[in-house]
Amino acid sequence: MGLLKFSWVILFCWVFLLLRLKALSDGSEVTVNFLKAPLAFSHLNSATFVFEVLVGGNGDTCSNCRITCKLDERIPSDCEAGEVSYSDLQEGNHIFEVCTNGSQGVGCASYNWTVDTVPPTAYVTASTSFTNALNVSVNISFSEPCTGGGGFGCSSVNACNLLVYGAGQVMPSSLNILQPNLKFSVLVGLSTNVQYGRVILVMDKNFCTDSAGNKFARSTNSSFFVHFDSQRPAVKLSTTSNIRTREHRVPISIKFMKPVFGFNSSHISISGGHLQSFHEMSRSIYTVEIQADNDFLSINVPENITGDVAGNKNLPSNVLQVRHYSVPLITSVISIFATASFVATSVSCRSAHYFDCMPSVC
């Protein structure tokens, strides 16, 4: 606070010196006193100057002086009344010049100031937008120094210019100044009582001003959403085949309870067969075909081999077991002969029945 007051004292002293500018000509002293002028840094796009021109050591008013005023590179204009106003000024630096021409001499004086109508804002970002951690690091970057009114501060949970909505709160002791008056970082702790949800980080309103007096204003980047989730993704295996099957290819469906990233065919544990095909239907649903090599087929997905967007590793899946059997060759041969015999008998009966039904031919 002391540094801020000292800065304002320096600024006012500088302005006071500028408001009393002097010009010397032919041994006669011509003094221009600015009675009214904009601040050295102004948030207004207009300016009014009130001044007086004095001559001689006694400070007499110059009664017969021709006075002209000029703004930036514009054409000078008469301003003997000692007052002139300008509007619709552009952003940036400006210079106002007063020139006198009279019997007491010729001289000019100028005044420099800056027009700044753009309010300061801040950009809020976090180390991640999805997390399963207990806290997240938040960075705050101001577009320009915003020290008027005390500037950015975070002395306690209830006195912090970074607002937190949701199951979390700032950790004031973690506040770190990365670049004075421009960049800060602070930790936001996430609640351990909630398994999943989100917190909204947003800057406070109108808590500081820039050097021109513009009040802080939020922008679209002054807020940030952090999604937290501590639930591990579960996974379930199922098949459309029977638990006992003689099909050589067994279709398997792998369904995660939420999307996972980085899951592939190498993450499937197979015993008694080998992988024939692998297809990703979505981030949470996959289909595979297993070629059975033995009578007993076992498939499962081990734990911690893939994870969700928040970094939670998966739980182990159920173990899917399928018994594969094949028909013996002798059984197949008997079945074929039995089928052929049945067909032949059926045909013979049908033929006999046909002839029995025909009328006698004499």
Model pLDDT, residue 243? 72
Q: Which of 40-49, 235-244, 314-323, 335-344 has the lowest mean pLDDT?
A: 335-344
Strands 105-115, 83-86: pairing is: unpaired
Residue 352 located in a structural domain: no
**What per-residue confidence (pLDDT) applies to 362?**
35
Single out the residue in 195, 212, 229 at which a domain terminates: 229
Same domain, 32 and 94: yes
Q: Which residues pair with 246 in a beta bridge?
A: none
Domain edge (last residue) among 171, 198, 229: 229
Residue 208 lies in a domain: yes
Answer whether residue 244 is part of any domain: yes
**Count of residues for the chain?**
362
Measured between alpha carbons, how far is residue 178 from residues 140, 155, 184, 342, 357 in Å? Answer: 9, 17, 5, 92, 108
Last residue of a domain, one of 115, 133, 168: 115
CATH of the domain at 162: 2.60.40
Residue 338 in domain? no
Task: Return the CATH number at 49.
Answer: 2.60.40.10
> Residue 88 sits in which domain range?
2-115
Within a domain: 345: no
Model pLDDT, residue 29: 72
The DSSP letter of residue 272 is S
- Mean pLDDT score of the chain: 84
Higher pLDDT, 353 or 221: 221
- Residue with token string 């009966």: 349
Model confidence over 28-82: pLDDT tens digits? 577 888 999 999 999 999 999 999 888 776 667 777 788 999 999 999 999 988 9
Does residue 294 have a pLDDT over 70?
yes
Same domain, 11 and 96: yes
User: Residue 66 and residue 69: Cα distance in Å, rounded?
Assistant: 10
**Count of domains forming the chain:** 3
The helix (run of H) or strand (run of E) holding residue 34 is strand 28-36
Residue 63 lies in a domain: yes
User: CB neighbours of 28 closer than 8 A, spacing ≥ 6?
Assistant: 55, 56, 104, 105
Structural domain contains residue 205 = yes
